[in-house]
A and B are shown apart, each in its own frame.
Chain A
Amino acid sequence: MPLQFHQKQLPNGLDIVAEINPDSHSFAAGLFVKTGSRDEDVPVNGVSHFLEHMMFKGSSKYGWEDVNRIFDEMGARYNAFTTQEMTAYYANVLPEFTERSIEHLSHLLRPAIRTADFTNEKKVILEEIAMYLDDPGHRLYEKLMEAHFANHPLSLSVLGSVDSIKQLERDQMADYFKGRYGPGNMVLSVTGRLAFDEVVGLADKYMGSWPHVDAPRKHSEPLYKAQKQSLTDPKLNRQYTMAMTPGPSAQDDRRFAARVLSDVIGDSDGSRFYWAMVDNAIAEEADFGFYPHDGCGSFYLSLTTAPQRTEEALSIAMKELEKVKTDLKDDEVERAKNKIASSIVLSGEVPIGRMRSIGSQWMYNKEYRSLEQDMETLMSVTPASLKQLMTQFTFDPMTIVTLGPGEK
């Protein structure tokens, strides 16, 4: 049975989008807020992510002991995440908990931000930053974003720095919350087994009194330049290399072609990078992918190699990126499309994935795309459209950052 879409806006401006799948066993609901590290001022960098933690510390009605307990009493799969451009809070429950889950999400998004909780949680955030320092891939990714986006706010770290977190004050967080976390800057996305009118009624009951916020995102053009940075950490064994170059944005219709192109070039199996570097073990990993952002976008590549083979792998990658512009084959494009088509079918079967997908799509574009539309658009991608894409996004300029042990 095809999935049905519904949409409504409450008087306070809260957008509700729903995709109903009567075959589902569960109900999924998520609140997507259009705010993230790119909306932060440098001195409060990390506040969106820290605030995500504070949402689980209680509202005026509940304390920190209650928030997780109530979710667990529903047997919910629940969590939250923060990116450069959004923060999302969600729960996946059995349909009998539809009302309770919406009510509880409404408490989550009205945090009390108590000073004692704030002070305690700061230590957890600092531990989270420390944890990622033991993960070379994550360290490198942060450095890459910082270098590639330079003065653009996408360069800011999602977690913030040890300094910005240590100096952040409770009231700065409360101000940030007040300015950005309300209808007008927020979408409620629901999927799975549900009755739309019931959900609208519940959203109105529990979120209808939230004040509207006007929180436009400041957009500026990133200034890209060709650059290369080498970072050393003598305790590492392997060399990790990432590069980034401009691509289509989340609003750009060429993003579908960009995804197909990325798979042709650098899917983890069967791609050009795979045959050029992984099949022969020059690199342990050699991926090429696509990150669409709000208003701009990036292609990226990621290599893991022995330190002495990094230059060789990087030079092969660059040659492949040139070569694909002139010798793209019909059948490799077909294969990439078929793989993506399967992932579209599989994603439609799981409500929690669709909840994320339609919620973020609405947040970016105020647009709903059904699985059928996604499939049609995918099928309309041709080798010619990929070739054209590569005349518009030429993989230049490119930011390259590499992290490894240096001379041993």
Chain B
Amino acid sequence: MAERYFQHTFDNGLTLLAEQMPGMQSAAMTLLLPAGASSDPVDRNGSATVLGELVLRGAGNRDSRQLTDYLDSLGLQRSSSVGVHHTRFGAAAPAAKVMEGLATYADIVRRPHLPEAGFTAARDLALQALEGLEDEPRQKVLLKVREWHLPSPLGRSAMGRKEDLEKLTLAVSKADFKQRYHAQGAILALAGKVDFDATRREVERLFGDWEGGTEAELKLMPPPGNSHFEEQKSEQTHIGIAYSSVPETHENYYTARMAIEVVSGGMSGRLFTEVREKRALCYSVGASYSSLRGIGSIFAYAGTSNERAQATLDCVIAELHRLSDGVTKEELDRAKIGLKASIIMSGESTSGRAGAIAHDYFMRGRIRTLDEISAAVDGVTVDRVNAYLKANKPGPFTIVIVGPKPLDLPRA
């Protein structure tokens, strides 16, 4: 059987990853740059988001319109976003088109024009998105609970802060580009119908002489507190809950993942069953594991009408506490098959795999094969999960409420 996974780090620090997926006509690209919200310049939170928009407004020998028209003519399905650690550019299309587009992505991240008019518009769009967030309390609580739970600056929202964005200038953005758009720490992942040797030669040609640079060290500070209420005259009360878990690289990672799958993996999970099916307290409720480098967390959400919000919060917290009493074999079996099936089915999406191998490399410095993940999931036993839960009771909780009235928060 042909080799499936490939990895190569160039001298300047750029890492190229590839997964060859038999039977696929398409390819997908994920390009991660070490410019996430957490490394935004001091008092300029939102800078990475503005920059991520600005670099697309003309690069290499194409102006803004020529650049967009060219990528469109290739038919690339494109995306870009800013997360905690990275700015991410994605593209998917029939494989040859993605390979053709690589040279233009080299222009975008190495030779953007960063025009004044483009800067003003990009900053304005970022400010508008922030305004819009005030109209969507559900989105707001998900961002706020990260801010109040994670150590600063990891909890920062990529959308930025109004006062910071208003102070942002093109000069600052240009300096920020120089500081954070570089090869060191950048990851380029391709998945699908990919010829690795040819790709490596092309990437060497396009990125081989890219400046290395250095990644900023983050100084972590404690979050502002462990509970927060934000008054909003919303129809529902939106509840965000967080607590700490183990990082992805920890030996108990798969054990902790399985435990949270029991709480909220499928629709037979405990939260859905207890809060929605049995008590009909809300429509939307769930919890999931969230991964940052070196930090794992559990985030839960429930949205419900204001008069039932207290009962909903109490019920979700009770379910999380009940976890320390352990899980059953049937629950664990369902969690395992669910995760294994989703791993196998992820092999049907080139975009999904390109994102996954880039994530793996950033977290672990290597790609996990699908077989490795399946074996690790198989290795989790009821005894292991229950011993882990006994020693690591869920909590303490960070709780953020967005709604018309505050709620009574549980102690500890």
Interface readout for B328-346 with A: 1 if CB under 8 Å, 0 if not? 0000011001111110110
B76 and A342 form a contact (CB under 8 A): yes
- Any chain A CB within 8 A of the CB of B348? yes
B72 contacts A335, C-beta separation under 8 Å: yes
The smallest C-beta distance from B193 to any residue of chain A, in angstroms, reads 10
CB proximity to A under 8 Å, residues B136-155? 136-138
Q: Which residues of the partner chain A approach B341 to less than 8 Å between Cβ atoms?
A: 26, 74-77, 93-94
Q: Which of A132-140, A165-173, A208-216, A244-252 makes up part of the contact surface?
A: A132-140
User: Is the pair B283, A124 in contact by a Cβ cutoff of 8 Å?
Assistant: yes
Q: Quick one: closest B residue to A336, CB to CB?
A: B72
Known: A238-B135, A346-B92, A349-B26. A25 touches B347 (CB 8 A): yes
Shortest Cβ distance from B36 into chain A, in angstroms? 22
Q: Is B235 an interface residue (CB 8 A)?
A: yes
| B280 in complex: contacting residue of A121, A131, A275, A334, CB < 8 Å | A121
The proximity string for B residues 60-95 relative to A, scoring 1 for CB distances below 8 Å and 0 otherwise, is: 000011001101111111100000000000001110
Q: Is the CB of B121 closer than 8 A to any CB of chain A?
A: yes
- Docked-complex contact B344 and A26, CB < 8 angstroms: yes
CB B69 to nearest CB in A, in angstroms, measures 6
Let me know if A237 and B125 touch, CB within 8 A: no
Scan residues 308-350 of chain B and give those whose CB is less than 8 A from a CB of chain A.
Answer: 333-334, 337-342, 344-345, 347-350
B284 sits at the interface (CB 8 A) = yes
B276 touches A124 (CB 8 A): yes
User: A345 to B93, Cβ gap below 8 A?
Assistant: yes
A71 touches B131 (CB 8 A): no
Within 8 A of B (CB), among A118-173: 120-128, 130-131, 133-136
The answer to whether A322 has its CB under 8 Å from any CB of chain B is: no
Inter-subunit contact A131/B284 (CB<8 Å) = yes
Residue-by-residue, is B86-111 near A (CB-CB < 8 Å gives 1, otherwise 0)? Answer: 00000011100100000000000000
Shortest A197–chain B CB gap in Å is: 23
Residue A253 CB within 8 A of the other chain: no
Let me know if B303 and A131 touch, CB within 8 A.
Answer: yes
Tell me, yes or no, whether B233 is within 8 Å of chain A by CB. yes
Q: Is A373 an interface residue (CB 8 A)?
A: no
Say whether B134 faces chain A, with CB atoms less than 8 Å apart: yes
Taking the closest CB of chain B, its distance from the CB of A315, in whole angstroms, is 19
A123 touches B268 (CB 8 A): no
Pick from B5-13, B17-25, B174-182 the stretch touching chain A. B17-25
Chain B residues closer than 8 Å to A238, beta-carbon distance: 128, 131-132, 135
Q: Closest CB of chain B to A320's CB: distance in Å?
A: 15
B236 within 8 A of A: yes
**A123 with B280: CB separation less than 8 A:** yes
**A335 cross-chain contacts in B, Cβ below 8 A:** 69, 72-73, 75
Contact A334 B305 (CB under 8 A): no
In the complex, A26 Cα to B352 Cα: how many Å? 15
Tell me how many residues of A have a C-beta within 8 Å of chain B: 68
Closest A residue to B122 by CB, please name it: A281
Contact in complex: B74, A338 (CB < 8 Å): yes
Candidate in A127, A275, A345 with the most chain B CB atoms within 10 angstroms: A127
- Known contacts A73-B333, A270-B68, A345-B26, A92 near B283 by CB under 8 Å: no
Structural contact, B348 and A24, CB atoms closer than 8 A: yes
Which residues of chain A have C-beta atoms less than 8 A from B340's C-beta? 75
State whether the Cβ of B207 lies closer than 8 Å to any Cβ in chain A: no
Give min CB distance, B68 to chain A, whole Å.
Answer: 4
Residues on A with C-beta less than 8 A from B125 are 278, 281, 284
Mark each residue of chain B from 171 to 198: 1 if its CB lies under 8 Å from any CB of chain A, else 0: 0000000000000000000000000000
Chain A residue nearest to B98 (CB atoms) is A342
A132 closest partner in B (C-beta): B235
**Contact of B24 with A281 in the complex, beta carbons under 8 Å:** no
B75 and A342 contact, CB distance less than 8 A: yes
| A331 in the interface (beta carbon within 8 A) | yes
Closest to B306 in A: A130
A340 nearest in chain B by CB position: B75
A202 within 8 A of B: no
Complex contacts, B267 vs chain A, CB 8 Å? 56, 68, 71-72, 78
Which residue of A is nearest B93, CB measured?
Answer: A342
Chain A, residues 15-50, CB within 8 Å of chain B (1/0): the string is 000000001111000000000000000000000000
A75 near B282: Cβ-Cβ < 8 Å: no
CB-CB contacts of A70-87 with B at 8 A, as 1s and 0s? 011111111000000000
Q: Is A174 an interface position by the 8 A CB rule?
A: no
Residues of A within 8 A of B23 (CB): 1, 23
Let me know if A72 and B338 touch, CB within 8 A.
yes
The answer to the question of A343 belonging to the interface, with a C-beta cut-off of 8 Å to chain B, is: yes
Q: Are A25 and B132 also in contact (CB < 8 A) when A74-B337, A128-B283, A134-B236 are?
A: no
A331 lies within 8 A of B282 (CB): no
Q: Give A304 Cβ to nearest chain B Cβ, in Å.
A: 7
A341 within 8 A of B: yes
Measured CA separation A343–B269 after assembly (Å): 34
Complex interface residues of chain B between 288 and 313 (CB less than 8 A to chain A):
303-305
Could you say which residues of chain A place their CB within 8 Å of the CB of B273?
A: 65, 68
Shortest Cβ distance from A182 into chain B, in angstroms? 26
Question: For A270, what are the chain B residues with a Cβ–Cβ distance below 8 Å?
Answer: 68-69, 71-72
**Complex: how many Å from CA A235 to CA B403?**
13
- Are the C-beta atoms of A71 and B266 separated by less than 8 Å? yes
Q: Tell me if B236 and A349 are in contact (CB < 8 A).
A: no
A127 touches B282 (CB 8 A): yes
**Does B265 have its Cβ within 8 Å of any Cβ on chain A?**
yes
Query: Chain B residues with Cβ under 8 A from A23's Cβ?
Result: 22-24
**Central interface residue in B22, B75, B238, B284, by most chain A CB within 10 Å:** B75
| In contact, B24 and A339 (Cβ under 8 angstroms) | no
**Most chain-A CB neighbours within 10 Å: which of B233, B284, B333, B338?**
B338
Distance, CA A121 to CA B403, complexed state (A): 24
A23 to B192 alpha-carbon distance, docked (Å): 13
Task: Given the known inter-chain contacts A236-B135, A237-B135, A279-B64, please indicate yes or no for A342 contacting B303, CB distance below 8 A.
Answer: no
Q: Tell me which residues across on chain B come within 8 A of A92, comparing CB atoms.
A: 345
> Is there a chain A Cβ closer than 8 Å to B277's Cβ?
yes
Q: Is the CB of B235 within 8 A of A133?
A: yes
- Rounded to whole angstroms, the CA-CA distance of A34 and B5 in the bound complex is 45
Interface string of A316-346 (1 = CB under 8 A from B): 0000000000000001001110111111011
| B132 with A284: CB separation less than 8 A | yes
The 9 closest A-B pairs by CB, nearest first: A75-B341, A23-B23, A338-B75, A72-B266, A75-B337, A281-B124, A342-B75, A68-B267, A123-B280
A-B contact pairs, 20 of them (CB 8 A): A65-B277, A75-B334, A75-B339, A77-B342, A93-B341, A94-B344, A124-B276, A124-B280, A127-B283, A130-B235, A136-B135, A136-B136, A270-B71, A281-B125, A281-B128, A341-B75, A342-B76, A342-B97, A346-B26, A346-B93
Residues of B participating in the A interface, judged by any CB pair closer than 8 Å: 22-26, 57, 64-65, 68-69, 71-78, 92-94, 97, 117, 120-122, 124-125, 128-129, 131-132, 134-138, 232-236, 238, 265-269, 272-273, 276-277, 280-284, 303-305, 333-334, 337-342, 344-345, 347-351
Known: A281-B120, A349-B349. 13 other contacts (CB 8 A): A65-B268, A69-B334, A73-B334, A74-B337, A75-B334, A94-B341, A127-B284, A128-B283, A235-B233, A335-B72, A336-B72, A339-B76, A346-B351
